[in-house]
Amino acid sequence: MASALSAFRVSISRISPFRARQFSYPATSGLAHTKRILCSSSHSVSSSPSPSDTYSSSSSLMETNENTRWRPMCLYYTHGKCTKMDDPAHLEVFNHNCSKELPVTAADLEGKKPQEFDFFLVLDLEGKVEILEFPVLIVDARTMQVVDLFHRFVRPTKMSEQAINKYIEGKYGEVGVDRVWHDTAIPFKQVVEEFEGWLAEHGLWGKETDGALNDAAFVTCGNWDIKTKIPEQCVVANINLPQYFMEWINLKDVYLNFYGREARGMVSMMRQCGIRLMGSHHLGIDDTKNITRVVQRMLADGAVFKITARRSKSNMRNVEFLFKNRIK
């Protein structure tokens, strides 16, 4: 039964790319038709589609080669914990290099305009009660290429173990990544420390920048992530709000002003642009990549990304919105 259901899900996905659950990491209960990767250690990642369940990517910008075939990301790898990098079967099924999925060609660069920032940090949090996932992609504003990825699952600070288990099962169980979540999630405070180390490695942040980003800006789909959720989580985690969260670019506002049409969210932007949704919607890492596809398309079309929202230095709760036309 589970297998039939799963097969149905796959067939639906081929018909309608905009249904929410179509490109799921298959749930562990529905694996009869999938090529389950058996791992000797705790490294069983999630289950994954068999090669026949994957499809050629029609990525954001152009049809390219075999390398762009969509595969689920190895979520142990994104946490620096993949122990199977020398296993060809594992490498065949799980993606370990997301820049290949987000390709750019010379033609895409022709219409690109000079930008105020050298790098964009595309961020899309998951978790309503507390943050559960913190994925960030660096996009080079000049080449439009993805430079690197930071991805951490976040262990809630104030929730009981029982509540966490229930929360994770509901949120990630159905896309088959609950186990990797439990194997890798760390507290938000540690995520922030590791994120800052990663930013510093890329020269995007450090003591000399006075806490702000160095020639980089966050890009989010909406204001909620940085305006609301990060400050809330900082309170829960008992840390100060980092200075680099003082301003950001809300993609929806740039989109509205550049194309002159409104999109309420990532899926509608992608639909309007004819970009195929890939991966699992509401798995943060996949959403971040999909948002990056929109960013790349807009850059290729000639959009200039400017800061859309900024906190008041005297009162961090006050946010000034810098665009007259914006999504409210």
Summarize as ranges the residues that interact with Zn ion (CB under 5 A): 74, 77, 82, 84
Q: How near is the Cβ of 91 to Zn ion at its closest, in Å?
A: 7
Q: How near is the Cβ of 69 to Zn ion at its closest, in Å?
A: 17
State the amino acid at position 279 in one-letter form.
G
Q: Which is nearer to Zn ion, 73 or 234 (CB)?
A: 73
- Catalytic residue flag (residue 90): no
- Which of 33, 79, 96, 282 does the annotation list as catalytic? 282
Q: How near is the Cβ of 79 to Zn ion at its closest, in Å?
A: 10
- Which of 101, 126, 130, 174 does the annotation list as catalytic? 126
Q: Which is nearer to Zn ion, 82 or 175 (CB)?
A: 82
Burial of 78 (C-beta count, 10 Å sphere; 0-12/13-18/19+): buried
Sign of the alpha-carbon torsion through 62, 68, 70, 73 = negative
Q: Which is nearer to Zn ion, 54 or 64 (CB)?
A: 54
Q: Which is nearer to Zn ion, 133 or 253 (CB)?
A: 133
d(CA 134, CA 181): 12
Q: Which helix (H) or strand (E) holds 219?
A: strand 216-220
d(CA 211, CA 272): 37
Assess contact for 156 and 130: CB atoms under 8 A: yes
Residue with tokens 């929360």: 167
- Catalytic residue flag (residue 126): yes
Question: Crossing angle for the helix pair 251-259 and 284-301, nearest 10 degrees?
Answer: 30
CB within 8 Å of 50: residues ≥ 6 apart? 33, 34, 35
Q: Which is nearer to Zn ion, 94 or 244 (CB)?
A: 94
Q: CA dist 58 to 66, 108, 169, 305, 313, Å? A: 11, 15, 31, 25, 43
Q: How near is the Cβ of 207 to Zn ion at its closest, in Å?
A: 34
State the amino acid at position 124 in one-letter form.
D
Q: How near is the Cβ of 47 to Zn ion at its closest, in Å?
A: 14
Q: Which residues are catalytically annotated?
A: 126, 282
